[in-house]
Structure 1
Amino acid sequence: MATAVELTRFRVAPENVEALLAARPGMIADFEADREGFLGARLVRLPGGEWLDIVEWRSSEDYAASSRKGPNLPGIKGFFAAIDSLVTAEEGVLSE
């Protein structure tokens, strides 16, 4: 099974950056507790108020199952609440 990679690019207003970063540990904890196949995530700050979230999943099916759940837990909701707008969301396969 190939490792799926979720690539989500989004915008955060300058006044929401602290809230985004403060919510990140809670989001990760909720993913670890509630999202089967979650392997880890990295958050990258880009120019112009944009961010890239790189999330690794054991499989494409695990990623799809997580997406269907949406922001179902407080830590995930808190992280999503700090996001102003979605730029792109893509899925790829990790090449090793």
Structure 2
Amino acid sequence: MTTVELTRFRVRPEQVDALLAARPAMLADFRADRAGFLDADLVRLPDGEWLDVVRWRSAEDFAASRVKGANRPGIAAFFAAIDSVVSAEEGTLAGGDR
């Protein structure tokens, strides 16, 4: 069953361009290096907050990705643009997989 990672974070206004510029390389690094990565959506919220919705083939794939951390340049650049993490949750996609 598809696992969904929900990470809400803050980005300083002066880092928004860096975050958006790093996103394509981060996704490419995930596709190349993270077994079970399916896709991701980045949502801009009010007040400098963002929500990253990442889908994984399984909870095990997500756990293995977390162990790797920012091990590739694109991932590291994206993470570096984040000021602070507000919340991080994991769930299972309900109502059919995408």
Share of identical aligned residues, percent? 72
Q: What per-residue deviation string (whole Å, max 9, x for no partner) do you get for residues 76-96 of structure 1?
A: 000000000000000010012
Letter in 2 for 1:45: R
1:10 is matched with 9
Unaligned runs of 5+ in 2: none
* TM-score, normalised by the number of residues in structure 2: 0.96
Residues 1:74 and 2:73 are matched in the alignment: yes
The DSSP-based 3-state class of the residue aligned with 2:47 is helix
Cα RMSD (Å): 0.3
The 2-side partners of 1:72 and 1:64 are apart by 15
The 2-side partners of 1:64 and 1:8 are apart by 14
1:39 is matched with 38
Unaligned runs of 5+ in 1: none
1:55 is matched with 54
Residues 1:84 and 2:83 are matched in the alignment: yes
1:27 is matched with 26
The size of the alignment, in residue pairs, is 95
The 1-side partners of 2:21 and 2:5 are apart by 21
Letter in 1 for 2:64: A
The DSSP-based 3-state class of the residue aligned with 1:5 is strand
The list of structure 1 runs, each at least 4 consecutive aligned residues, that deviate by more than 6 angstroms after superposition, is none
The 1-side partners of 2:88 and 2:66 are apart by 11
* TM-score, normalised by the number of residues in structure 1: 0.98
